[in-house]
Homo-oligomer: A and B are copies of this chain.
Amino acid sequence: MPTYERLKGFRDFYPPEMAARREVVDTVEDAARRYGFREIATPRLERAELWTDKSGDDIVDELYAFEDHGGRHVTLAPELTPTVARMYAAKSQELSKPVKWVSTRPFWRYEAVQQGRFREFYQTNIDVFGSSEPEADAEVLATAADALTDLGLTTDDFEFRVSHRDILGSLLRSFDADVDVIAAIRAVDKSEKVDENEYLDLLADAGLGYDEAREFDDLLGVTDPANLDELTDFAASDGLADAVENLRAVLAAADDYGVGDYCDLSLRTARGLDYYTGAVFECFDATGEVSRSVFGGGRYDDLIEEFGGQPTPAVGVAPGYAPLTLLLERADVLPEAAVSTDYYVLQVGDTREVAARVARDLRARGHVVETDVSDRSFGAQMGYADSVNAETVVIVGEQDLADGNVTLKEMSSGDQTTAPVDAFPGEFDRPTYDDFA
């Protein structure tokens, strides 16, 4: 008898854990739904060129790519963006703008497995296409903040560190027009993970002198939006002034949207991915206990065009459930990992027909109802009812039925009472022990 192993970095979710996970996903999706993000569904497999043509080696080396039976180079998608860019480009004329899409699904990257990182990982992607206004950035921030507060998190639990790619780029170019902006921004992204000398070396590799690198890093230390003038005073360029104005406008819109308290100016938050173009942000555990970024987002105005569409501004966020679960655990608000059952209809003797009718009527009222499908004893059925956390057990026994009754047992208290079988559930939407005691 062979036994088969699950692949490393892939997960099985059994019902108790899945119940908690479903509650988290539903909460995030519901926040997006209320903001008018519309669900889409997308292929899990795409042409590998969607990544090999444009992505950095980091992503390409981690692809689950192969050749299909038709000789196509295909890959399991490691992220959603190229797919939605392809979808947007295919129907851009007929789509009503702004386009606001949401979807939850797994992605795959062959990378080292560690806490909160798997090879198959689930994200909810939330994106606005077709608006370059700061309100679109703020709406994405507000949706993410509402999702987190709906999950029970507070201002003490999380913060959005907000930065701006064009501020970083304009500052860098003000030192030296030839600086490698992408390499320097990657260095900033790593600044908290490496020691200072290594960080300065990385900036030097990108083309800054060491004094310039220190000066640049000092400028990134500003935390009060009012002090962003220090940057424009330091380097007068239209690009920098526009970027500072845009970042202030995003933060002001986030204030109007009621989520300003969650947003902290943090220019050193650079986001590793190359394709961001404007405001970017990362969500962190405000206590620092979960040290890694929980998720991030930002503006990527060039990407739709790169994938063959008309030039289209875009901004989005993609909470991932493995790191989010770490934050919810830390804050002690992860939903309980347990299944729930409204009624177990227990059969004693030859009472299947009545028990089935009772179960059916309770299900018609929307409840979760189980009954015996294993021909088991009273005790075995009661044990099962307990194992699925049944709130009420409806005992349909031959003797009770002869008297025209069923028995209701409230599982939390153990109290029981009889109810007339012909009136059960009858007029009651959700009959309990109390209705008949």
In the assembled complex, the Cα of A337 lies from the Cα of B336 at a distance in Å of 35
Residues of the B chain whose Cβ atoms lie less than 8 Å from the Cβ of A292: none
Q: Mark A61-78, 1 if CB is under 8 A from B, else 0.
A: 010101111101010100
Q: How far is the CA of A376 from the CA of B98 in the complex (A)?
A: 11
Write the A16-51 contact mask toward B (1 if CB under 8 angstroms, else 0): 001101100000000001111011111111110110
A368 to chain B, nearest CB (A): 6
**Distance from A67 Cβ to chain B, minimum over Cβ atoms (Å):** 8
Binds B, one of A170-178, A212-220, A252-260, A271-279: A252-260
Contact code string A359-383 (vs B, CB < 8 Å = 1, else 0): 0100100111110111100000001
Contact check, B68 vs A110: say whether CB atoms are below 8 A apart.
yes
Let me know if A224 is at the binding interface, CB within 8 A: no
Find chain B residues with CB under 8 A from A22 CB. 39
Which one of A2-10, A233-241, A417-425, A426-434 is at the B interface? A2-10
State which of B35, B64, B360 has its C-beta within 8 Å of the C-beta of A258: B360
A4, A76, A360 — which one has the most chain B CB atoms within 10 A of its CB?
A4
- Interfacial chain B residues near A398, Cβ < 8 Å: none
Closest chain B residue to A74, Cβ basis: B7
The residues of B that contact A256 with a CB separation of less than 8 Å are 352-353, 356
| A interface residues, tally (CB under 8 Å) | 99
Contact residues in B for A308 (Cβ distance below 8 Å): 1-4
Residues B2 and A110 in contact, CB atoms below 8 Å apart: no
A86 touches B135 (CB 8 A): no
**CB neighbours of A374 from chain B (8 A):** 97-98, 130-131, 133, 135-136
Instruction: Point out the residues of chain B lying under 8 angstroms from A90, CB to CB.
Output: 6, 12
Give which listed residue, B14, B34, B46, B70, contacts A368 with CB less than 8 A: B34
In the complex, A146 has a CB within 8 A of chain B:
yes
CA distance A8 to B68 in the complex (A): 11
Distance of A26 from chain B, by nearest CB (Å): 11
Are B10 and A43 within 8 A (Cβ)?
Answer: yes
Specify the chain B residue showing the minimal Cβ separation from A375: B133
Closest residue of chain B to A101 (Cβ to Cβ) is: B15
Q: Is A307 an interface residue (CB 8 A)?
A: yes
> CB distance B34 to A367 under 8 Å?
yes
Number of copies: 2
In the bound complex, do residue A120 and residue B43 qualify as a contact, i.e. CB atoms below 8 Å apart?
A: yes
Indicate if the CB atoms of B135 and A6 lie closer than 8 Å. Answer: no
The one of B49, B68, B370 that contacts A64, using a Cβ cutoff of 8 Å: B68
Q: Chain B residue with minimal CB distance to A33?
A: B368
Find residues 146-161 in chain A having any chain B CB closer than 8 Å to their own CB. 146
What residue of chain B has the Cβ atom nearest to residue A362's Cβ? B34
Please state if B42 and A253 are interface contacts (CB–CB under 8 Å).
Answer: no
Pick the contact of A4 from B44, B45, B50, B66 — CB < 8 Å? B50
Contact string, A329-365, partner B, CB cutoff 8 A, digits 1/0? Answer: 0000000000101000000000011001100100100
Does A4 contact B96, Cβ atoms closer than 8 Å? Answer: no
Complex A-B: 16 CB contacts under 8 Å: A3-B89, A3-B308, A4-B46, A4-B82, A4-B307, A8-B70, A13-B42, A14-B91, A15-B101, A34-B367, A36-B388, A62-B69, A70-B110, A76-B76, A135-B374, A257-B356
Apart from A43-B120, A44-B108, A96-B383, list 15 A-B contacts with CB within 8 A: A4-B49, A4-B82, A4-B308, A7-B47, A10-B43, A12-B83, A18-B40, A34-B369, A44-B76, A44-B120, A45-B108, A68-B110, A76-B76, A135-B352, A257-B360
